[in-house]
Amino acid sequence: MDVLLISRCPPFPLYFGDRLIPYHLARQLSARHHHIDLVAFYTKPEDAADIPRYERFFRHIQLIREPSRGVLRYLWRLYGEHFFPGKAREAWSGEMWQTVQERIFSGRYDVIQLFGGIQVYEYREAVKAYANLIVPYESYSLYLEHELAQPTRRVPFVRRAELSMTRRYEKRMFSGFDQVVVVAQADADALHQINSALPISVIPNGVDTDYFTPNGQEPDEPALLFIGNYDYAPNVEAALQLARHIFPAVKLRVPQARLMLVGNAPPPVLQALASADIDVTGTVPDVRPYYEQALIFVSPLQSGAGIKNKILEAMAMQKAIVATPLSCDGIDLENEKHLLIVDTSEAIVKAIVRLIKDGALRQRIALASRQLIESRYTWQRVATQYETLYRTLADRKAGRI
């Protein structure tokens, strides 16, 4: 099939979890001899330097600088007459509109996929003649709802106003697309509550099981691990909770325990927690050695939305996991079988200590996690689901079904 992918971001670097979908989906589909053209927004000058890392997956690549969109522009769009622009001069990015039109005029596409929400929805009218789908990754209103439920330094009125505007956008901006795809049922439910008419499918993320493969050996010391992109506020909150409250309580019961906080852009407040017992690494070239050093992966997330790639990767690396219910959204997990699911800091501490002391339980859970990944959460399986959806949408648009 010939596919045009209009993306809110380039497919690299992969420590930004939302980039996993365009990267691995293109990797899998190109291996199946589909032809994919990419037009994507970028925000950093170094984004162009990453093109060689994924160019083999695409027939054509074009990056376009993402425009700024302030609150006033959002409000003008929401209450103005051009919520769905019909021409380049009405769009936030006229350059992207023109580029999409040029790609469409240059060849016949079987399907056009838009990846993102507020960044790409406005090209609906430009692609409506073709089979199309939009993949917003997550419900941003659900993300804000979870954030509002947590203590915050921001003025509650400002956040509630943002949530109100986001709901208004999500009620309208996904309408008229042939299909809307999210990665977790919780996000699908949130969008359906806002607009029950949306044709929504759930296709979870996957894991590269060839890359994330365990060596089969447990570490000698009881090291705990949390991995995240710390440009994402929920990851910072979780890491601080883990380092300040959970880990000290574990340390009292297991004096030899240590903690690794791994990931991109740790803020100064997180870096300040580094000590002989707490390792704050920053960006690392390969996270697998840290998974191998860890006895237990801990995810105390209390806010956020979408599927948690860190959980999928930890499962693929055959790690025993302790996680909050929100950390498990989008993954068909069974408590006590694939991991231990707990919802308070005190319960997390007890679960960690339990796994440290019970090797048989730890190993049973770790093995079951890897088996679940292999059977249901590979990128090959994800690509097959998208491939099936593409064909269904193309056949429907052509009147074959």
Q: Residue 151's pLDDT is what?
A: 64
Q: Residue 153's pLDDT is what?
A: 52
Compute the distance between CA of residue 318 and CA of residue 216 in angstroms, rounded to an integer: 8
Tell me the backbone φ, ψ of residue 120, rounded to 5 degrees. Answer: -125, -10
Reported as a single tens digit per residue, the pLDDT across 181-236 is 999 999 999 999 999 999 999 999 999 999 999 998 899 899 999 999 998 888 99
H, E, C per residue of 79-112: HCCCCCCCCHHHCCCHHHHHHHHHHHHHCCCCEE
Q: Residue 287's pLDDT is what?
A: 95
Burial class (CB in 10 A: 0-12, 13-18, 19+), 139: buried
Q: Residue 400's pLDDT is what?
A: 79
Q: Residue 147's pLDDT is what?
A: 79
| pTM score, whole prediction | 0.89
Q: 308 pLDDT exceeds 80? A: yes
For residues 27-51, give the mean pLDDT.
96
> What is the DSSP secondary structure assignment for residue 40, as one 8-state letter?
E
User: Coil, strand or helix: which one is 395?
Assistant: helix
Compute the distance between CA of residue 111 and CA of residue 113 in angstroms, rounded to an integer: 7
Q: Which CATH superfamily is domain 223-376 in?
A: Glycogen Phosphorylase B; (3.40.50.2000)
Reported as a single tens digit per residue, the pLDDT across 264-280 is 999 999 999 999 999 99
> What is the DSSP secondary structure assignment for residue 9, as one 8-state letter?
S
For residues 394-400, give the mean pLDDT.
88
Q: Residue 256's pLDDT is what?
A: 96
**Distances from the Cα of 337 to the Cα of 323, 334, 384, angstroms:** 13, 5, 27
Q: Residue 398's pLDDT is what?
A: 84
Compute the distance between CA of residue 84 and CA of residue 298 in angstroms, rounded to an integer: 43
Q: Residue 152's pLDDT is what?
A: 55
Cis, bond preceding 13 (omega within 30 deg of 0): yes
User: Coil, strand or helix: which one is 77?
Assistant: helix
Q: What are the residue boundaries of the structural domains of the chain, listed by start?
A: 2-206+379-397, 223-376
For residues 315-335, give the mean pLDDT.
94
Q: Residue 330's pLDDT is what?
A: 87
H runs (alpha helix) in 195-316: 233-241, 247-253, 268-271, 288-293, 309-316
- Give yes or no for a contact between 341 and 374, defined as CB atoms under 8 angstroms apart: no
Reported as a single tens digit per residue, the pLDDT across 105-156 is 987 899 999 999 999 999 999 999 999 999 998 888 988 888 787 765 566 7
Reported as a single tens digit per residue, the pLDDT across 338-367 is 999 999 999 999 999 999 999 999 999 999
93: confidence class by pLDDT, cuts 50, 70, 90? very high
What lies within 8 Å, CB to CB, of 344 at 6+ separation is: none
Q: Same fold for the domain at 2-206+379-397 and the one at 223-376? A: yes
Compute the distance between CA of residue 138 and CA of residue 202 in angstroms, rounded to an integer: 10
Q: 401 pLDDT exceeds 90? A: no
Percent of the chain with pLDDT over 90: 82
**Distances from the Cα of 141 to the Cα of 137, 148, 185, 284, angstroms:** 12, 10, 14, 31
For residues 52-68, give the mean pLDDT.
96
Sheet holding 2-7, edge to edge: 60-65, 35-42, 2-7, 111-115, 132-137, 180-182, 200-202
Helix (H) or strand (E) holding 114: strand 111-115
Per-position b or e across 95-127, b if 16+ CB within 10 A of its CB: ebbebbeebbeeeebbbbbbbbbbbbbbbbbbb
> What is the DSSP secondary structure assignment for residue 119, as one 8-state letter?
T
What average pLDDT is seen over the chain? 93
For domain 2-206+379-397, the question of CATH label 3.90.45.10 is answered with: no
